[in-house]
C-alpha cells in the first residue's frame, strides 16, 4: 500500500465490517465522515445516502446505505472538525480533514565494525575536556541539557561516519521513497548525555529557518554494558491542516542501542527523553553523533561523496561492491 493511502475500516449495523484503502483527499472519505458526524451532532439520522466504494483496485465494489454506518476506523489516524457557524451547519457542509502524518524512519544496527565502534568510544573519552554545554539557535536554555562538540565535522572520526552514511545513501533514499539528490554537505555534532540530560521536542529543519537539511542521522554508542537508562528517541507524528504542521501526541520510539544508526526526515518533530545515569561519570554517558545531510538546490558534477565512487547521490553505471 502507498504511504499516501489511508487504511479505512467501516463498521455497519448487524456487526458487518469492510476494510479498504482510500486516498486522503477522496470526496467519499469526506462524505463518510460528514454522514457520521452529522448524525452524532444532531442525535438523529441524517438523510439517507447511498455509497458504492471500489475494492481490489476497482475489480469489486462495496455498496451500503448511510443509515447502516456505525463507526469508522482509520490508519493512520484522521482527525476531523466541522466548520463552525452561528447556526448548525447545513447538510451539505464538508468536514475539514486533518491528517496525522507518521514519519518514516530507518534503523541500521551494527553500523560500524567492532573495532571502529570501540575506537569511536575511545575518542569520545579522550575528548572529555572539549565538550561544552549544548545550545539551540533560539537561545532557550531549558530546551536542551547535554554536552556537545559542535565542530565535530573536522575530526577524522566524523569523516568515518559521514563516508559510511554516504555509501548507504542510495539505499536510504530508496527506503524513504526519495529521489536521489545532490548533497551539499553533511553537518556533524558529537554529544554526551548524562544524568538528567534531555532535549525537548524540536525540528532540525523548517521553512522559517529555510534550512536545506533533508535527513537527520543519529549514531549511538556507549560503554557496554550500558550504565544509564532512558534516553530513548521519540519521533512524533505531525498533524497537517491546510499546509500547517504541528506536533501530535502519538509517536514512534527508538531505543539508543549502542552501535545503532537511526535516520528520519529533518522536518520531523523529535525528542531525547531524559536520561538516568546514577554514577554521573562522563565515561558512563550515552554518546551520539548527529549528522544532518544537506540537499543542494542544483546538481553539481563536482560534488562527490563516500570514497569518490558516487556522484550526487546516484549509483554508478557499473556494479558497486
* DSSP state string for 84-96: P-SSPPPTTPPPE
Q: What is the DSSP letter of 28?
A: H
Domains recognised in the chain with CATH numbers: 6-100 (no CATH), 106-311 (2.60.120.620)
Burial of 246 (0-12, 13-18, 19+ CB in 10 A): exposed
Residues 118-177 have pLDDT tens digits of: 999 999 999 999 999 988 766 666 889 999 999 899 899 999 999 999 999 999 999 999
Query: The whole model's pTM is what?
Result: 0.67
pLDDT value, residue 98: 62
Query: With bands split at pLDDT 50, 70 and 90, how would you rate the model's confidence at 314?
Result: very low
pLDDT 10s digits, 224-281: 999 999 999 999 999 987 778 899 999 999 999 999 999 999 999 999 999 999 999 9
Please count the other Cβ atoms lying within 10 Å of the Cβ belonging to residue 265. 21
- Beta bridge partners, 301, equal none
Give the pLDDT score at 60.
80
Answer whether 163's CB lies under 8 Å from 305's CB.
yes
pLDDT in tens, 58-74: 778 788 888 888 999 88
pLDDT tens sequence across 11-46: 988 888 899 888 777 778 888 888 887 765 555 555
Amino acid at each position: 500500500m502507498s504511504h499516501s493511502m489511508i487504511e479505512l475500516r467501516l463498521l455497519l449495523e448487524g456487526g458487518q465490517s469492510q476494510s479498504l484503502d482510500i486516498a486522503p483527499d477522496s470526496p467519499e472519505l469526506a462524505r463518510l465522515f460528514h454522514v457520521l458526524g452529522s448524525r452524532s451532532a444532531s442525535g438523529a439520522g441524517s438523510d439517507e445516502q447511498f455509497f458504492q466504494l471500489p475494492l481490489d483496485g476497482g475489480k469489486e465494489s462495496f455498496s451500503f446505505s448511510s443509515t447502516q454506518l456505525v463507526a469508522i476506523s482509520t490508519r493512520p489516524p484522521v482527525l476531523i472538525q466541522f466548520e463552525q457557524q452561528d447556526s448548525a451547519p447545513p447538510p451539505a457542509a464538508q468536514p475539514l480533514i486533518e491528517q496525522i502524518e507518521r514519519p518514516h524512519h530507518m534503523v541500521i544496527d551494527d553500523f560500524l565494525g567492532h573495532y571502529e565502534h570501540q575506537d569511536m568510544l575511545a575518542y569520545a573519552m579522550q575528548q572529555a575536556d572539549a565538550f561544552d554545554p549544548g545550545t539551540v539557535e533560539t537561545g532557550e536554555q531549558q530546551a536542551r541539557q547535554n554536552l556537545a562538540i559542535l565542530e565535530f565535522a573536522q575530526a577524522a572520526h566524523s569523516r568515518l561516519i559521514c563516508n559510511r552514511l554516504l555509501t548507504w545513501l542510495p539505499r536510504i533514499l530508496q527506503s524513504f521513497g526519495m529521489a536521489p539528490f545532490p548533497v551539499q554537505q553533511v553537518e556533524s555534532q558529537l554529544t554526551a548525555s548524562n544524568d538528567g540530560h534531555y532535549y525537548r521536542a524540536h525540528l532540525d529543519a523548517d521553512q522559517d529557518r529555510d534550512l536545506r537539511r533533508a535527513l537527520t542521522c543519529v549514531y549511538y554508542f556507549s560503554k557496554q554494558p550500558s550504565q544509564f537508562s532512558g534516553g530513548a528517541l521519540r519521533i512524533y507524528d505531525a498533524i497537517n491542516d491546510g499546509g500547517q504542521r504541528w506536533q501530535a501526541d502519538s509517536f514512534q520510539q527508538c531505543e539508543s542501542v549502542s552501535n545503532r544508526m537511526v535516520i528520519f526526515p529533518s522536518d520531523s518533530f523529535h525528542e531525547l527523553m531524559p536520561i538516568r545515569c546514577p554514577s554521573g561519570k562522563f565515561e558512563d554517558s550515552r554518546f551520539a553523533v548527529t549528522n544532518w545531510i544537506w540537499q543542494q538546490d542544483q546538481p553539481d558534477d563536482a560534488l562527490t561523496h563516500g570514497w569518490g565512487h558516487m556522484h550526487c547521490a546516484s549509483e554508478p553505471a557499473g556494479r558497486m561492491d
